[in-house]
Structure 1
Amino acid sequence: MKKNKFSLLVIVSAILTLLIAGCSSSTGGDAAAGKKMNLKMSVTISDTSTWYKAAEQFADEVKENSDGRINIKVYPNEQLTGGDSGKAVESLSKGTVDLTYNSTIIYSILNDKLGVLSAPFLFKDAADVDAKLAGEGGEEIKQIIRDFGVEPLGFGENGFRQLTNSVQEIKSPEDIKGLKIRIPGIKMYTDLWTLYGANPATMTMSEVFTALQQGTVDGQENPIDVIHSSKLQEVQKHVTMWNYSYDPLILGMNKKLYDSLSDEDKQILQAAADNANKYQIELARDTEKQQIKEMEEAGVKFYYPTEEEMAAFKEKVQPIYDDYKDVWGEDLLNLFLEN
């Protein structure tokens, strides 16, 4: 009788072992499969921006498709890092922030090669941007980002950067001379604006409104969505629409966290990211006209340079390509210069 009981226990134990093994070998085979997660996502600008709206859509879709297991809280204005975008990307790389929407300008702090996307007058128009970021050049950018601990879940759009100022209409490089212009903290922009004869000043985005209001700087450069959502039209009189530098966004996730996920959860996040990026880009492009109209109604004057004037702006900063092709990597640069 005891022998029969022992045999029965052995059989039951074996069945349980097989069941546990079967459960643990589900798609991905990760310990994180089916795990409940509360994640933090940082966005550089306010909750009225297309960045934030897309991040909210991303969070909602992930929550729905994971049956509430994966919850993402979105923080605008870089609240998690005291308004500092550079710290946000560093925190993402280290894993103290889980997800961010950040410009590749900020990523270039970690790797100078990423500054190639901000090269002056590199892209012709939105169609040129879409084609090149979807091609080999875009894939090279994603791999560079992976190398420092961030999984890129795709490109969003901050947009073409425009110049605002409170002094005068800008029609030529001569008009820029002597102006104090706030720029992001990367050396290439410092060199570029120095070529124009400006006095470039770096500061975090959270400081810009006050600096403009107090006259610490005369102007700044950013895409229309950032200008509008940051209410810079309240302290700036002139906008020059010259598309001088393009600014992609990266929807990034800490790579160590991403790699720990099951295949199913990776698919949920990637699908939601694809939808959010598409939505953000379309929204940014669709709303720009309305944002310009609202800024004009607030008294801001927009100037659109002629082809001849644009040629003068481009010629003045061509030395940037000679100075930075080795920094960016000539092969990488050529992927974006090729038609």
Structure 2
Amino acid sequence: MKKKLVLVLALLMLVSLFATACGQSTPAPAPAPEPAAEGSEPAAAPEVEFPEMTLRMSVTTSDVGSWYMGGMKMAEIVSERTGGKVNIEVYPNEQLSGGNQGVGIEQVQQGVTDMSFHSTIIYSIMDPKFSVVSMPWIIPNISDMDQAMAGEPGEAIKEIVRSKGIEPLAFGENGYRQLTTNRRAVRTPADMSGMKIRIPGIQMYIDLFQALGADPTAMNFAEVFTALQQGTIDGQENPLPVITTNRLYEVQEYVTLWNYSYDPLVIGINMNKFNSFSPELQQIFREAAAEAAAYQIDLNRQEEAEAIAFLEEQGMEVIELTDAEVAAFRDLMAPVYEKYEPIIGEDLMNLFLNF
């Protein structure tokens, strides 16, 4: 019995010595994680706590337009990605600025309001350099204009926006401006002679239509329908969705498609407000603005595509100019370009002209 006990104790000592020796050896490294399967979701980033805040955004158009819908899309995305902590209230029809678009931009500069969705045409009130995008027939093709706004010309515009104390988050679009008239259809510059055309109250547009032989008339857009109805003016110019939404087909006979002036929009935020955000929140705002702008552009172009058939159904005659016919108008623009090149700057002008 004693012999058996001694044998067991000896075996236990051997096992103990073997285990101790193994414990002193260098531990094996942990196995590398398996690579994520193709198409799998990336690991979730650590959650970031965002402070609760509410921002106000001013939008020029009504709550049925693509501008407002784009603003609401951004508000939705920001709220979702901040867990409901950061909210954007979108105010249509320039409610915050008393109906004055220029004041709407000034309010964002001053921090009275936080954000806006405004046209560069309105920005040109504070700095005529913004007019470069809307110069007559500077880039009359939408695919080329898309590339320009996504490239160096667009970056140049963003830098000018920043110089005004506003951070440009993304570009939307109001689209190319078209012409509607009553007295006669417009196919040649001679057809413009003496026609009273309502234009935005921007000097570049006044100079442009005077060069075409028309009689440009600046007027609040709210007065345009009645002025057309009463014959105070003969026509007006605007993107197609504006023409349909405001029922101008009821008081106009002709629409000329000539893509004479492009009208981009800026989703802008007060720079001091934006700089107060954490890097994570800034990134959310940039991404949300880019997605909202793409959504707004898609809506706008869908409305444009549907507008032509709709206007024809309403009895309007649609005149789509050929490249040669457009060239006849563009050839008359030399005095306008000569006047505005020193105002806008040769380098900035050439960024768009040579794109």
| TM-score class, shorter | 0.7 to 0.9
- Corresponding residue for 2:312? 296
- Corresponding residue for 1:135? 151
Structure 1 counterpart SS, 2:73: helix
Shift of 1:147: 0.7
Contact 2:267 2:289 in 1 (8 A): yes
Query: What is the distance in 2 between the residues matched to 1:116 and 1:27?
Result: 43
Structure 1 counterpart SS, 2:232: coil
2:305 is equivalent to residue 305 of structure 1: no
Quickly say closer, same or farther: Cα 1:43–1:211, change in 2 above 3 A: farther
Query: What is the distance in 1 between the residues matched to 2:340 and 2:153?
Result: 17
- Corresponding residue for 1:110? 126
2:133 is equivalent to residue 122 of structure 1: no
Which AA in structure 1 matches 2:110? Answer: K
Deviations for 1:87-135, whole angstroms, at most 9, x for unmatched residues?
1111121122211111101001111111111111011311111111111
Aligned-residue Cα RMSD (Å) equals 1.8
- Corresponding residue for 1:204? 220
Runs of 4+ in 1 over 4 A off after TM superposition: none
Query: What is the distance in 1 between the residues matched to 2:331 and 2:290?
Result: 37
Quickly say closer, same or farther: Cα 1:312–1:268, change in 2 above 3 A: same
Shift of 1:226: 1.8
2:182 is equivalent to residue 159 of structure 1: no
User: For 1:86, which of 79, 102, 111 is the aligned residue?
Assistant: 102
Contact 1:166 1:218 in 2 (8 A): yes
Contact 2:140 2:261 in 1 (8 A): no
Shift of 1:56: 1.1
Contact 1:100 1:253 in 2 (8 A): yes
User: For 2:282, which of 254, 266, 274 is the aligned residue?
Assistant: 266
Query: What is the distance in 2 between the residues matched to 1:66 and 1:307?
Result: 49
- Corresponding residue for 1:226? 242
Contact 2:171 2:267 in 1 (8 A): yes
Shift of 1:231: 2.3
Query: What is the distance in 2 between the residues matched to 1:248 and 1:183?
Result: 17
**Residue-pair matches, total:** 310
Alignment of structure 1 residues 65-76 onto 2, 5 Å: 65-76=81-92
User: For 1:63, which of 65, 79, 95 is the aligned residue?
Assistant: 79
Query: What is the distance in 2 between the residues matched to 1:328 and 1:272?
Result: 31
Per chain length, whose mean CA-contact separation is higher, i.e. which structure has more relative contact order (CA < 8 Å, sep 6+)? 1
Structure 2 counterpart SS, 1:317: helix
Deviations for 1:293-318, whole angstroms, at most 9, x for unmatched residues?
22221222211123332221111122
Quickly say closer, same or farther: Cα 1:83–1:212, change in 2 above 3 A: farther
Contact 1:122 1:337 in 2 (8 A): yes
Query: What is the distance in 1 between the residues matched to 2:133 and 2:164?
Result: 18
Identity of aligned residues (%): 48
Contact 1:157 1:281 in 2 (8 A): yes
Contact 1:41 1:100 in 2 (8 A): yes
User: For 1:184, which of 200, 212, 224 is the aligned residue?
Assistant: 200
Quickly say closer, same or farther: Cα 1:229–1:217, change in 2 above 3 A: same
Unaligned runs of 5+ in 1: 1-25
- Corresponding residue for 1:42? 58
Deviations for 1:14-43, whole angstroms, at most 9, x for unmatched residues?
xxxxxxxxxxxx999xxxx73222222121
Contact 1:146 1:255 in 2 (8 A): yes
Contact 1:164 1:236 in 2 (8 A): yes
Contact 2:196 2:216 in 1 (8 A): yes
Shift of 1:59: 1.0
Which AA in structure 2 matches 1:35? Answer: P
- Corresponding residue for 1:247? 263
Query: What is the distance in 1 between the residues matched to 2:225 and 2:298?
Result: 27
Which AA in structure 1 matches 2:329? Answer: F
Which AA in structure 1 matches 2:210? Answer: T
- Corresponding residue for 2:68? 52
User: For 1:280, which of 296, 301, 310 is the aligned residue?
Assistant: 296
Query: What is the distance in 1 between the residues matched to 2:140 and 2:115?
Result: 30
Deviations for 1:241-268, whole angstroms, at most 9, x for unmatched residues?
0000111111111112111112122111
Contact 2:54 2:87 in 1 (8 A): yes
Deviations for 1:256-281, whole angstroms, at most 9, x for unmatched residues?
21111121221111111010111111
- Corresponding residue for 2:347? 331
- Corresponding residue for 2:34? none
Shift of 1:206: 3.0
Alignment TM-score, normalising by the size of structure 2: 0.83
Query: What is the distance in 1 between the residues matched to 2:245 and 2:56?
Result: 22
Structure 1 counterpart SS, 2:257: strand
